[in-house]
Chains A and B, each alone.
Chain A
Amino acid sequence: MSGAPTVFVEDFNKIIDECTNFACITRDGGLQRQAISRLDELLSEIAAEKSTAISANNEDYANLLLGCECVARGIAAEIKMWLLLKEGRPDAAWDQLVTAQTNIADAPRAHKGFSHLTDHVERLNAIEQLVFPPQVYLSTGFIVQKQICSPCENDYEDCGHIKGHPYMGKFCTVRLIPSAVDHVAFVENPANKRCRVLTFSAEGGYRNRMTWLVEPRTNPKEEANPDFKAECIVACTLPTTEGSPSNDSLAISEPI
């Protein structure tokens, strides 16, 4: 799919409209998987078109295509969320919800042409409130020695780029070079909603906060330790990134 930007965008809108139709729990799972495959193809087509725009030094169009990528990823994640819920996998569904929320919220940052997506953001927020139980979040605080800017690889304090702003089809992110973990805290509003308590100690094992089922302990030594398991960002001294919420990485499951 290539040609004049307007033709590409028209085709994009048509595919997104078709696929968004499957972002409901009642839709057939097979049709939902087909929609996800179509969105994956669309992402490849957007990437190729964006390369052309970058080669032509057309920053506005490259940023528009960045927004298209966000929307396609967001809709795909929303459909995956419903599929996973139907498969009885709410923890994985939650991750897809967060992916959908961050991508749909990123699109208006990429290009003003996506400012109408506020309604879709509210829809996803409503799904979070109505479909999932309240979550307990964690926040990691750490000391950062240096911040490296993604577009220019210079010290972020010395360059002209702004974190979270789009530049030639990519968001400016900042690679943090942490030197020490400062604290881990429970917070009401986390920067990353994947950073949450997964299970807590209960009689006979760990109770899953999503399903409320008690999962047996795998390690007998854990028996005497009333605790919880959480999924959180591990800061340590590894670089991490910030700027676009969807770029948060290094999320792993770790007992705390």
Chain B
Amino acid sequence: MLHTTFVWLKQTIAVLLFAITTFSFLSAQNLLNHVPNDADIVVEFNIDELAAKVDLDSLGRMPMMVEFLKGAPKLIKNPKNYGIETREKLAFFLGTGDNLMYFGLLVPINDVEKFKGFAQEMGDGWKVETTDNFWTMKDVREYGEGGLTKIKSLSGFTEKYALFIDGNFVKDPDLPDQFENYYERYDEIDRLKGIALEKKLSSVMGLNGTQSIKANPTFNRLSANKGEIRLFMNSEIAMGGMQEEFRRNPMLSTLYSQMEEFYYNNYLTASLSANDGAIEFDIDQEPNAKIREISESIIKKAKINKRFSKYVAQDDLLGYYSFAFNSYNAVKTYREMVTPIIDSIPNIPGGLASSGFDILDIFIDEDALADLIPGDMMVAFTGIKSYEREYTTYQYNDSTFEREEIIKTRKVPAPEFTFMMSTKNEEDMNKIMKALTKIPGSSRRNPDPIFVSQGSYLTSPMIAENTGMDLFVAMQDGIVFVSNNDDLIKNKLTTGGYLGNQRLAKAHRKAMKKNNAVLYTDMDKVLASIKGIDDRSIKGEQPQKILSMLGDKMDEMWLVGSSRKDPYASKMVVSMKDESQNAVWQIAQVVNDIYLETSKRRRNRIQEIEMVPDEEETDMEIEEDKGNE
């Protein structure tokens, strides 16, 4: 199944590539009217909208695109030659039904005769057939004896659009005993698959507007936002397709009915917009009552500790991830959710696990746990440091080459990070930190405890010995810190963190206030930090050049999720330094530049090899020279 998904993915990428790299004129048509209402996943590619923002012709002429399309099939290389409209909308859908998982790709057609011409050009096995209200084009191959055939490629088309369809059986059909032989068996399965796909093609081509996804009010409501690529997923139908797989396993089948309520009536949409200076990716979920109930109890009331921002220096910031959940409700909900699922597992495993939970429940005080760890955390990266690590090597006496053991040091890069976690119970947290100082280390050289107290913080001599890095654990201001930033731990914690203008900037504080999860990366700074790493693999001319190319273009990446306003929405923004040009164009340009840079190296190497004369060739040339004389 994975392989099939991969093949589909490759095909989709290929189709996208041909769509954005080939010139054609525009015509209006809504392909979503031909997508079945019960499709699991629908993806709409609005190439027309992208074409309005990006010069697709120039993009298609970039060497990397030309190279990429070199080996592609004719239909993908030159779709306009076969009457396929490539500058409009394309739609891709994935469906399950009748023991078939299938995908369809819908493309607009502007010249049906040219499209029919493709089959004629391909020749052997390719044919166009006429049905009541559409044509089919298929590549039929003969196999075995007695004129047996199977379909290698199948599409249906009208004068306006074509539907390419392919798929696989969810479960191999039961076959009579005569198909014991491996090859005969799979030939027969392929033949039956062809028949099933033809049936599916016929039913999809026969859809009218009211049976299409456009008649689905949820789809229309959720897909209203603009974007060059829009995805819609109906998890109820998608999971329904897996029903058969689940039912085959007795343990999973009991879980299936319990899990059903999580994905029933649950929808997800995502859209991608390529704008000047930024690519925006929006994800919206329309959850069912169950998911809504869980989300509201776990996420809605949780908040990221605003004091975290005091302990992160804005000037050094490479990136961070912060999130909050209500740990008390999370434990409660998890127990409520999991207990019936575990109880439903037949025989011993379920019973044992369930009774184990019940016994544990007697000893665990959920209120105390939630007080100790309320559930908001942050990890921030503020630089890449070089740590000195000692190692043993040898020096050799010039006279005799006798060796002598010496200790040397080398520099190892590692990120500077700070992990922060809120606590409402400093007293008990202190007890835990004290306990850490009693855990003995395992090193024979250093039998001391893993952590030792240094007054207001703990350090780990064992970690320092192994990695060269000083790791600190501390608590201040109702926050537990685990960090390798010694300046923060030694100087800033007791003085209330960084000064106002040095701490995390307002935009970050605002994002953390408004959302339950924030992921931020300063790509420019990250690339500059990587560039500065004192390592052979980075210091080379080519890696430095590539890092500069990326650093010149990339700016920031934000991912915010579960906002106070809308807990079911997430947004990702990848921004570029140049705000005047479309982000897709800029990314394509930098990828193309990197392609040229790396291929230049490859070409030089090939030329070097070609310049060395082949022995046989040289001998022949000498013989020829002799002959000429």
Do the two shown chains form a genuine complex with each other?
A: no
Chain A interface residues toward B at CB < 8 A: none
